[in-house]
Structure 1
Amino acid sequence: MTETDTDTGTRTTGGAMAARRHGTRPPKALRMSVELPLWRALTGYRILTLVYTACLVALSYRRYAHPLGAAAYMGVLTVWMVLTWRCTTSAERCTRRFLVADLGFAIGGILLTLVVDTHARIMGGGPTLPSIWTAGAVLGFAIKGGWRWAAVASTVVAVANLVERQELARDTIHNVVLVWVASVGLGYVVEVARSSERTLARALQIDAATRERERLARDIHDSVLQVLAMVQRRGAEIGGEAGELGRMAGEQEVALRTLVAGGLVPPPGIRPGGSASGVPRQAGEGAGEGAAVPAGAAPAGDDAGPCDVRALLAPFAGAGVTFSEPGAPVALPPAAAAELAAAVSAALDNVRVHAGAGAHAWILVEDEPHAVVVTVRDDGPGIPEGRLADAEREGRLGVALSIRGRLRDLGGGAEWISVPGQGTEVELTVPKGTAPEGGRRGKAGA
């Protein structure tokens, strides 16, 4: 959902509001309102044209047939401006009643020119009492209601100008057409901008909802789905009542995978029926045991300072996993380090499940100037072409969410290199600070 700040003209997505509720720093607000600058410009226009009109009346004061009438009108118009100048600072303050009253002051001034000015000056093309201030009243209709309102208001002004001039003079027609075209054009532009603004707000809302759904799906994949898969396998091995329990767990796993996969946006680089960039292996088909980050290794919070990635990945080392690290600390923000460790955990879990119990894995940590790169390699059988796309269509989201989705949210990416019979290599990249401009060997999923 989006929330609109009427004073600033900005809208905040649901993700930013959630970040505030959880005490984290929300993303920078995106200014979406195209109307706020227009209202500010209209306010400035009305003030400047009032000053200009007052100067015109002052310079021609002795030429009017009834100069006191002209001065009285300017005094009333000035008071009106002082009392209502804030009405044109935002769409909420600019009501229909105000627009009609403002247009009434303009029309009244045009018609009053017949009384206070001389016939010679009127027929000679002299300015009306409100002069170009009248355009501000018409532009208010254009910004508030679009081109239709602008057409009606400018038509009323045109009729009043023709009545005041008492003939179809060329300069009067020129001014009338100019005001009409300008106001209608501005009204049309405002309508198009509002439509684009609504489309953008809807897109941001869908993007925020999709990212939240992906985050929840990753958590489910790393916990519930893995437990259900384990129960299904163990139940089938034991048999009897345990086998029936395993069968039911398998059914629930399929149903939950279908629910999680529904409505997800396909990660970049993957197309239905095609293969992903880099030809990943079977990682992400299913879930095995132990995909969680090592206990106690998860960093505290963003306030805890930079986290050494080596400390999070070192517990993965064991008889079947070789861990290689630089001699110096590899620092990342705690949240980014935790997501990277979870992605490595998911990659190792896929090695255990799909490469076989005898497969060996290697973890290599590289601290590059602008990114941290972690490579997970195994000596398993590799993967067939297009296997990742097939797994995602079946609702198996290990690569799509637990690996690629995590890194994409951090501005990074993942690349798979696999040769059948020679194992698989997964390269995980997390930028330091901002998203990387490019990637080594064309990283996918960024």
Structure 2
Amino acid sequence: MPSPPGGFEVPLWRAVAVFRFAALAYVGLLILRDADRYAHPVVAGVVLLVMLGWTVTTAYGYARPALRGWPLLLADLAVVLGVLLVGPWAQGRGALAAGVPILAVVWLAGPVLAWAVSGGRRRGVVAALLVGGADLATRDRIGQSTLTGTILLLLAGVVVGHVARLAATAEQRLHRAVELEAATRERERLARDIHDSVLQVLALVQRRGAHLDGEAGELARLAGEQEAALRALIAGAPPPGPAPEDGTGTLDLRALLARYASATVSLSTPATAVPLPAPVARELAAATGAALENVARHAAGRAWVLVEDEGETVTVSVRDEGPGIPAGRLDEAARQGRLGVAQSIRGRVADLGGAVSITSTPDVGTEVELTVPRAAR
């Protein structure tokens, strides 16, 4: 996948251009040194000028994203293959047999690097095989040094292609992170505006009309529901509704608990998912619902739910501002056969291998803390 202009691939294209000019300078030095041993030194000079012109052309073309397409890539490969085919005739078989380097030398690696940067490892390997095969086909005798050169081309294609793909992937992730940061800042700005206006008005309507009858009471109830929905929206909470499994047998606890959020129940969850095995998530959500039922029955329904993901364990805290639980009341209720807390809350959490902590202060409120391990016992 191509990188946008100014992306992380730009330094790679510049490095390819620098490599080609440096390789061309090395070729020029070898031609000056060995020209008297060539069969057609003038032809070798013309080939050097062609290589210079093509190096300038590719440096210009690859520097512009619109030109980094197949026409330039194929032309680049064709020029290098042409230089490989003309080289033996310009130098002469005798000079090559005497150990004179081929005319292109390391310059022939240019299209391999270009293909690798443009398309990753696969393109780099294809170009290396084509260039290496053409080099081997022009040789009268294939030695260890020739094979080594072809292997180095393959390695260059693989390594440079891999680095190019990593750069493209890193750039995409960076763009995504920037977009998310911009969206988060915009949501925070909207949240401040909404909190200073809409939420305060809805909360005022809900408080003033909570004890009224008829249409006024219904209006207050609707205002409370809309306040809770808006708070969940600007906080980025998951929408209420069924929580489907993600294909690995886990559920996001946030989605299960979102159904309990209302005008009287405030839900605070982590920004990221809280995945739990499906049975654990359902039982923990059910225990939380049982705790909220007790709040609705004994503490006027106003409650705060906090979810904490602690790695190996997950804790859900339910706090209210009710009258509190008198000392010994829970044990007395259990003896009387009223097993709501004992079975619906403690029983469920105990079956999961977790623990329940209930802290209550008269006239202050009660906090129920449910802690379960990530995997059920």
Give the structure-2-normalised TM-score.
Answer: 0.60
Whole-angstrom CA distance in 2 between matches of 1:72 and 1:59? 16
Structure 1's unaligned 5+ residue stretches are 10-32, 265-270, 274-283, 287-385, 395-419, 424-446
CA contact (8 A) 1:64 1:118 kept: yes
Task: Report the 3-state secondary structure (helix = DSSP H, G, I; strand = E; otherwise coil) of the residue aligned with 1:137.
Answer: helix
Q: What percentage of aligned pairs have identical amino acids?
A: 40
Whole-angstrom CA distance in 1 between matches of 2:77 and 2:61? 13
The reply on whether 1:147 has 2:121 as its aligned counterpart is: yes
> Which residue in 2 is equivalent to 1:133?
107
| Stretch deviating more after TM superposition (106-115 or 80-89) | 80-89
Task: Report the 3-state secondary structure (helix = DSSP H, G, I; strand = E; otherwise coil) of the residue aligned with 1:223.
Answer: helix
CA 1:146–1:240 in 2, change beyond 3 Å: closer, same or farther?
Answer: closer
The reply on whether 1:244 has 2:223 as its aligned counterpart is: no
Give the drift of 1:143.
Answer: 0.5
Deviations 1:250-295 (A, max 9, x none): 233233334334447xxxxxx979xxxxxxxxxx959xxxxxxxxx
Give the drift of 1:98.
Answer: 1.4
The reply on whether 1:183 has 2:100 as its aligned counterpart is: no
CA 1:244–1:101 in 2, change beyond 3 Å: closer, same or farther?
Answer: closer
The reply on whether 1:47 has 2:21 as its aligned counterpart is: yes
> Which residue in 2 is equivalent to 1:162?
136
Give the drift of 1:388.
Answer: 6.5
Give the drift of 1:239.
Answer: 4.5
- One-letter amino acid of the structure 1 residue matched with residue 148 of structure 2: H
Deviations 1:129-148 (A, max 9, x none): 22211111211111011111
CA contact (8 A) 1:272 1:389 kept: no
Whole-angstrom CA distance in 1 between matches of 2:99 and 2:119? 32
Compute the RMSD of aligned alpha carbons.
Answer: 3.4
Give the drift of 1:211.
Answer: 3.2
> Which residue in 2 is equivalent to 1:58?
32
Higher relative contact order (CA 8 A, sep 6+): 1
- One-letter amino acid of the structure 2 residue matched with residue 181 of structure 1: L
1:101 equivalent among 72, 75, 80: 75
CA 1:82–1:185 in 2, change beyond 3 Å: closer, same or farther?
Answer: closer
Whole-angstrom CA distance in 2 between matches of 1:247 and 1:176? 77
CA 1:208–1:119 in 2, change beyond 3 Å: closer, same or farther?
Answer: same
Which of the two has higher C-alpha Rg? Answer: 2
Give the drift of 1:155.
Answer: 0.7
Whole-angstrom CA distance in 1 between matches of 2:100 and 2:180? 57
1:196 equivalent among 170, 173, 178: 170
CA 1:59–1:228 in 2, change beyond 3 Å: closer, same or farther?
Answer: same
CA contact (8 A) 1:94 1:144 kept: yes
Whole-angstrom CA distance in 1 between matches of 2:164 and 2:91? 37
Task: Report the 3-state secondary structure (helix = DSSP H, G, I; strand = E; otherwise coil) of the residue aligned with 1:165.
Answer: coil
Alignment of 1:346-365 (within 5 A): none
Give the drift of 1:73.
Answer: 1.1
Give the drift of 1:224.
Answer: 1.1
Moved over 6 A (4+): none
CA contact (8 A) 1:106 1:137 kept: yes
Alignment of 1:261-272 (within 5 A): 261-263=235-237
> Which residue in 2 is equivalent to 1:389?
306
Alignment of 1:331-346 (within 5 A): none
Task: Report the 3-state secondary structure (helix = DSSP H, G, I; strand = E; otherwise coil) of the residue aligned with 1:389.
Answer: strand
**Higher fraction of helix:** 2
1:76 equivalent among 50, 63, 66: 50
Whole-angstrom CA distance in 1 between matches of 2:217 and 2:124? 74
CA contact (8 A) 1:125 1:171 kept: no
Alignment of 1:397-412 (within 5 A): none
CA 1:244–1:98 in 2, change beyond 3 Å: closer, same or farther?
Answer: closer
How many matched pairs? Answer: 256
Whole-angstrom CA distance in 1 between matches of 2:56 and 2:235? 60
CA contact (8 A) 2:117 2:160 kept: yes
Whole-angstrom CA distance in 2 between matches of 1:235 and 1:89? 68
